[in-house]
Chains A and B, each alone.
Chain A
């Protein structure tokens, strides 16, 4: 099956620094990529939708200047958490969407645990 690679799986950073998370579709071209964050014991919350070559669409309440999304190619999207603070500590997951013959399929990365000290 299709594979989405997300890197790094875990990152610890100091407050005020920026962190970049990569999401790659390894064996298919993703029409759209989605970024979610998940707080402990809570559900995944959609942060933004990104389409290759265009600006990401952010969900209400998500700061686009803080969570920079770049989708430069059909196989790579990146999420940069700028000037990270402890409240940004969370589990971030990406998913990649591809349209098949009859429907759309979503494939998820394994997630990135971000800890901001």
Chain B
């Protein structure tokens, strides 16, 4: 069974500082990895995804993530955090696309990011 672990429940960073959110996954085949951001009362917005190819993936809002198969990790990074980045971030793993059954995602428990001004 697939699973996702986000070890950090809360993280606080100063505005302008760099950010790294950790994500470890367990999946039997080639994973399809996602990072989503959720603002209060909002749905999830896709930041980026990894399917194949270059292991460093660029996303929206200046975020990037690196897939490391040897470490089963897909950590999210941003060089300089903005106050508007404060939100909850979810890592997710799914089956490879076009499986015919839809992409059922397994989510981590999320990391709440607080940005200090």
Interface residues in chain A, defined as those with a beta carbon under 8 Å from any beta carbon in chain B: 4, 6, 9, 31-32, 34, 41-46, 49, 51, 93, 95, 97, 99, 103-104, 106, 108-111, 113
Does B58 have its Cβ within 8 Å of any Cβ on chain A?
A: no
Residues in B29-45 with C-beta less than 8 Å from chain A: 36, 41-45
CB distance from A55 to the nearest CB of B (A): 14
Does B107 have its Cβ within 8 Å of any Cβ on chain A?
A: yes
Does B75 have its Cβ within 8 Å of any Cβ on chain A?
A: no
In the complex where A43-B90, A43-B109, A44-B90 touch, is A34 in contact with B104 (Cβ < 8 A)? yes
Does B55 have its Cβ within 8 Å of any Cβ on chain A?
A: no
Enumerate chain A residues within 8 angstroms of B45, measured Cβ to Cβ. Answer: 108
CB distance from A107 to the nearest CB of B (A): 8
CB < 8 Å neighbour of A104 from B4, B44, B102, B110: B102
Enumerate chain B residues within 8 angstroms of A6, measured Cβ to Cβ. Answer: 43
Interface of chain B, helix or strand or loop or mixed?
loop
CB distance from A109 to the nearest CB of B (A): 5
Interface of chain A, helix or strand or loop or mixed?
strand
| B41-76 vs A, Cβ < 8 Å mask (1 yes, 0 no) | 111111000010000000000000000000000000
Enumerate chain B residues within 8 angstroms of A99, measured Cβ to Cβ. Answer: 97-98
In the complex where A9-B41, A44-B90, A110-B43 touch, is A32 in contact with B102 (Cβ < 8 A)? yes
- Looking at A42, A43, A95, A99, which has the most chain B CB atoms within 10 Å of its CB? A43
Task: Look across to chain B and name the residue whose beta carbon is closest to the beta carbon of A57.
Answer: B101
CB distance from B94 to the nearest CB of A (A): 8
**Could you list 28 A-B pairs, sorted by A, with CB under 8 Å?**
A4-B43, A32-B101, A34-B104, A34-B105, A41-B9, A42-B109, A43-B90, A44-B90, A44-B105, A46-B104, A46-B105, A46-B106, A93-B43, A95-B44, A99-B97, A103-B98, A104-B98, A104-B102, A106-B103, A106-B105, A108-B36, A108-B43, A108-B44, A110-B41, A110-B42, A111-B41, A111-B42, A113-B41
